[in-house]
């Protein structure tokens, strides 16, 4: 029996509602849980495969390096979806020397998310 089920990253953000709506409207995530009004915590999911939690923080955010690598089955399709949605692409899709096809986006909090798959 496998003991582990899944994992989620927890990102501190200054505005939960604004960020949750961005992930829903631009990145295609579902908002499955909001805690309090105004929200101080949120749970976001995409395709029952990727979970991102948001926690309210009034401190400055450290967005200096990628926070999350999201593995997808078809990075080219996701890339096209995000281009169409107006998502900020900071590194265009490419094949890396470490055998990944990937691209990097930046969310409204300036967090970098890498989207890709092995080749």
39 Cβ contact partners less than 8 Å away, ≥ 6 residues apart: 16, 17, 20, 56
> Which long-range contacts does 93-96 make (Cβ < 8 Å, 24+ apart)?
95/119
Read off the pLDDT of residues 102-114 as tens digits, 9 standing for 90 and up. 999 999 999 999 9
Domains, the chain, in order of start with CATH, read 8-118 (3.10.180.10)
Q: What is the pLDDT of residues 41-66, one digit of tens each?
A: 999 999 989 999 999 999 998 888 88
Is the pLDDT assigned to residue 98 strictly greater than 80? yes
pTM over 0.95: no
């Amino acid at each position: 029996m496998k003991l582990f089920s899944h994992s989620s990253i927890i990102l501190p953000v200054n505005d939960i509602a604004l960020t949750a709506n961005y992930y829903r409207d631009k990145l295609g995530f579902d908002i499955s849980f909001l805690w309090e009004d105004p929200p101080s915590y949120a749970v976001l999911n995409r395709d029952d495969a990727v979970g991102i939690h948001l926690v309210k923080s009034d401190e400055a955010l450290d967005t200096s390096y990628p926070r999350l690598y999201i593995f997808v089955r078809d990075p080219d399709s996701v890339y096209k979806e995000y281009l169409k949605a107006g998502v900020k692409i900071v590194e265009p899709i490419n094949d890396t020397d470490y055998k990944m096809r990937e691209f990097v986006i930046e969310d409204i909090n300036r967090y970098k998310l890498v989207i890709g798959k092995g080749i």
